[in-house]
Structure 1
């Protein structure tokens, strides 16, 4: 019994000593090195984001993502930049048709001639006319998706008002 009476105050003292009562406790890790991304966010204003979708001349593929096939069309995602469009009538020799510029995009779904594209935080519906090589945005659902994370898993901080993160660049 005497051992318990001596042991209990010792345990209580050790537990209390582990708490910080004097204000000069040090954390076991350094916040500056562990809580910030090694990437800088790339922003677009809401207005620029909504006006950034465009059908342009074909571009070289540099950072491909997902691939989609619909009828005789082949779509190749250029990660967070847009989609390369190919005429895939002859799968052994696809022909570049156009590039659909959609900053912040990573995914696409297609139903009939309607393209459903994630553009950063928004979901857009666009009609693509293969024969006339025309694209028209028919609907936008704002903030349908969460904000884009950096490649190392962090959210942007101090995002300017009315701006959207559309990409991340490695810090110099």
Structure 2
């Protein structure tokens, strides 16, 4: 029987990736509390800064703001679309809509919204832990990083920092 180790994950100094050179820097997780990670709000329109996926549900356009939420744009007059509201959803990168329902990710949770009135979006259901987490590792390979600690909260990002000692985790 053959065993093939996974390429990404947490390894000690004897695991795969022995050729990674520690240069005194690594990635440290950025945490927020569990409560803060689940805080969903409908706000007035905001300018688009880092748009992602776009979904059309006539006459509205839904534009993902990577990691932050969803813009709702009234496209009744395509020559003059109006940005009407913003749903603040931490950890949001994906969405789908049908009829009067909008579905969106919130880190590991799937959210269902009633969008029958796009200026007053209502969260109607949260299905917890349905989406696999990718936040436990930095989005880089061949790097050292401080292992994520769930006791400190939800990992919402990674920052490259100087590290006096070589971290135990790498990928």
TM over 0.5: yes
Out of 122, 127, 149, the position equivalent to 1:159 is: 149
User: Structure 1: which 5+ residue stretches go unaligned?
Assistant: 1-26
Q: Which moved more, 1:119-128 or 1:162-171?
A: 162-171
| SS state at 2:93 partner | strand
Judge conservation of contact 1:123–1:142 (CA < 8 Å) in 2. Answer: yes
Where is the helix percentage greater, Structure 1 or Structure 2?
1
How far has the Cα of 1:137 moved from its partner?
1.4
Q: 1:134 to 1:167 in 2, by over 3 A?
A: farther
Rounded to whole Å, the distance in 1 between the matches of 2:88 and 2:146 is: 23
How far has the Cα of 1:130 moved from its partner?
2.5
Q: Which residue of 2 aligns with 1:144?
A: 130
1:106 equivalent in alignment to 2:96? no
User: Structure 2: which 5+ residue stretches go unaligned?
Assistant: 1-16, 163-171
Q: Higher Cα Rg: structure 1 or 2? A: 1
Judge conservation of contact 1:148–1:167 (CA < 8 Å) in 2. Answer: no
Q: What RMSD over aligned residues (CA atoms) do the two structures have, in Å?
A: 2.9
How far has the Cα of 1:28 moved from its partner?
5.7
Judge conservation of contact 1:123–1:141 (CA < 8 Å) in 2. Answer: yes
Number of residues of Structure 1 aligned to a counterpart in Structure 2: 142
Out of 19, 28, 47, the position equivalent to 1:29 is: 19
Higher relative contact order (Cα pairs below 8 Å, separated by 6+ residues): 2
Q: 1:123 to 1:171 in 2, by over 3 A?
A: farther
Q: Which moved more, 1:159-168 or 1:80-89?
A: 159-168
How far has the Cα of 1:168 moved from its partner?
4.0
